[in-house]
């Protein structure tokens, strides 16, 4: 039983022990590489913002119910950021005249949403955001999708298990129009489409009719949602797919008329990536094209395309797929033991010497029995252990033991580096 005196962490907050931190950094590294491969610049915004920033957009209970808010000492309402886009809009608007467009920005940082924690969802999470602003073309949409595909590829998720589903709002609006679905019902219908895979078919039909659709419209809607060649009617999607072909990302992408995305602000291409084989049914990432990003904050109209990916879902998927590299407990590959009180400082000096030579070296923090120190090195999965005992000190030697092979040799101090490097290189090959 845990110590009762321990104060519990905040519900849904995340604790990153070194092993989890390694996963987070693994994701960050893949994100960073994919973003930079396409020339995107890293940026960030405040973690706390005035609540109005979000209220301006949704103005809903959503903001109050699903955000962490509090009063600061001056009585201002402060919100832990639940998303990045409003901050992006403000920062762009503030320097709209001096930024170089088209602008390509990416970010990876913490966000908070007051929701009930469950599989794939916590109250505190890290999110990758990536956007291109100032270009309005299906080819730009294709680039963002290609960035996402590049991330999936580099993380080890092949097209047979990760798929990016694409649709287009304008295409769907045109289809809805053709069915005689009035524009004011589009939002409700979109939301219903979004929920289709989750719902019982009969119930879904019922809801559709409840929205005021007639049988003929319902039938037409289902025809549309079952038509996976529909994209051929869309000039935008046709161009998108040829661009994806050229970008080498086509194999990851499928057209799916059921992808809508709940967000109001998407106006053209929308897309969502899913793991098709694992236990997580939530989207890996999702995004699309939005117009008038800056409308709410008073900037000039600007079109953009972007997507966001949380760390929780992708983390589960990568672990399930066995794609996370084995955890290395210690960044240092060599342990310098401390033989006794007298030789303590000599061991410290030896470790310092290794560090000056560019190696990561850990020294045992105090004299202790050698078995204990060796055991420590073993549990830290270190590759080599150095022993500087009385015999070695006297003759200017060091014992180097390869923990992988159990072989050890006494070498002169001058030969230590090359001996160590040999062991480390050998062990690297073994991995």
* β-bridge mates for residue 290, sequence order: 266, 304
* Binding test (CB under 7 A) with RNA, winner from 28, 43, 50, 58: 58
Site string for RNA, 94-113 (x = CB under 7 A): -------------------x
- Verify binding: residue 342, RNA, rule CB under 7 A: no
CB of 199 to RNA, least distance (A): 7
Residues 65-84 that bind RNA (CB under 7 A): 66-67, 82-83
CA angle 427, 430, 431 (to 5 degrees): 95
- Verify binding: residue 302, RNA, rule CB under 7 A: no
Distance of CA 32 to the CA centre of its chain: 9
Interface size with RNA, residues (CB under 7 A): 57
CB of 170 to RNA, least distance (A): 19
Q: How far apart are CA 226 and CA 420, in angstroms?
A: 63
Closest CA to 14 of 128, 130, 113, 151: 113
- Verify binding: residue 321, RNA, rule CB under 7 A: no
Q: How far apart are CA 288 and CA 171, in angstroms?
A: 14
Residues 6+ apart with CB under 8 A from 327: 18, 19, 22
Residues 154-193 that bind RNA (CB under 7 A): 191
CB of 62 to RNA, least distance (A): 5
Site string for RNA, 391-430 (x = CB under 7 A): xx------x-x-xxxx-x----------------------
Within 283-381, where are the H helices?
Answer: 311-320, 344-356, 370-379
Given the complex with RNA, which of 126 and 374 has the nearer CB atom? 374
* Binding test (CB under 7 A) with RNA, winner from 43, 258, 389, 427: 389
> What count of other Cβ atoms lies within 10 Å of the Cβ of residue 187?
12
Angle, nearest 10°, between helix axes 344-356 and 416-430?
A: 70
Q: Which two tokens stand for residue 229?
A: 């060649």
Phi, psi of 409 (to 5 degrees): -145, 155
- Verify binding: residue 8, RNA, rule CB under 7 A: yes
Query: Which residues of the shown chain bind RNA in the complex (CB under 7 A)?
Result: 1-2, 4, 8-9, 11-12, 54, 57-58, 62-63, 66-67, 82-83, 85, 113-121, 191, 195, 198-199, 261-263, 282, 286, 339, 370-372, 374-375, 377-379, 385, 387, 389-392, 399, 401, 403-406, 408
């Amino acid at each position: 039983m845990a110590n009762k005196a321990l104060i519990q962490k905040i519900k849904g907050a995340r604790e990153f022990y070194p092993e989890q931190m390694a996963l987070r950094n693994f994701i960050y590294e893949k994100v960073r590489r994919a973003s930079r491969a396409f020339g995107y610049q890293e940026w960030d915004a405040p973690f706390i913002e005035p609540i109005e920033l979000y209220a301006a957009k949704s103005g809903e209970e959503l903001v109050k119910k699903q955000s962490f808010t509090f009063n600061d000492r001056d009585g201002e309402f402060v919100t832990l950021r639940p998303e990045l886009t409003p901050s992006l809009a403000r920062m762009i608007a503030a320097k709209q005249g001096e930024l170089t467009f088209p602008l390509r920005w990416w970010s990876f940082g913490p966000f908070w949403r007051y929701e009930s924690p469950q599989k794939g969802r916590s109250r505190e999470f890290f999110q990758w955001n990536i956007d291109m602003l100032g270009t309005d073309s299906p080819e730009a949409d294709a680039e963002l999708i290609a960035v996402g595909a590049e991330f999936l590829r580099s993380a080890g998720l092949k097209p047979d298990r990760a798929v990016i589903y694409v649709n287009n709002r304008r295409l769907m609006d045109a289809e809805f129009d053709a069915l005689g679905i009035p524009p004011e019902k589009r939002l409700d219908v979109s939301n219903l489409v979004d929920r289709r895979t989750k719902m019982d078919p009969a119930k879904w039909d019922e809801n559709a009719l409840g929205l005021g659709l007639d049988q003929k419209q319902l039938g037409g809607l289902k025809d549309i949602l079952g038509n996976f060649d529909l994209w051929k009617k869309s000039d935008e999607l046709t161009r998108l797919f040829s661009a994806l072909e050229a970008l080498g990302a086509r194999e990851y992408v499928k057209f799916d008329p059921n992808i809508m995305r709940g967000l109001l602000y998407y106006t053209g291409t929308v897309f969502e990536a899913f793991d098709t084989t694992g236990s997580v049914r939530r989207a890996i990432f999702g995004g699309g094209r939005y117009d008038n990003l800056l409308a709410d904050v008073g900037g000039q109209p600007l079109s953009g395309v972007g997507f966001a990916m949380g760390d929780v879902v992708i983390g589960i998927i990568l672990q399930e797929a066995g794609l996370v590299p084995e955890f290395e407990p210690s960044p240092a590959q060599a342990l310098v033991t401390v033989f006794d009180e007298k030789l303590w400082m000599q061991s410290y000096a030896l470790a310092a010497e290794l560090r000056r030579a560019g190696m990561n070296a850990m020294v045992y923090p105090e004299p202790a029995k050698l078995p204990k120190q060796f055991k420590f090195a073993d549990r830290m999965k270190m590759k080599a252990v150095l022993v500087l005992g009385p015999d070695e000190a006297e003759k200017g030697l060091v014992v180097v033991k390869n923990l992988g092979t159990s072989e050890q040799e006494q070498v002169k101090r001058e030969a230590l580096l090359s001996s160590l490097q040999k062991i480390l290189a050998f062990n690297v090959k073994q991995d």
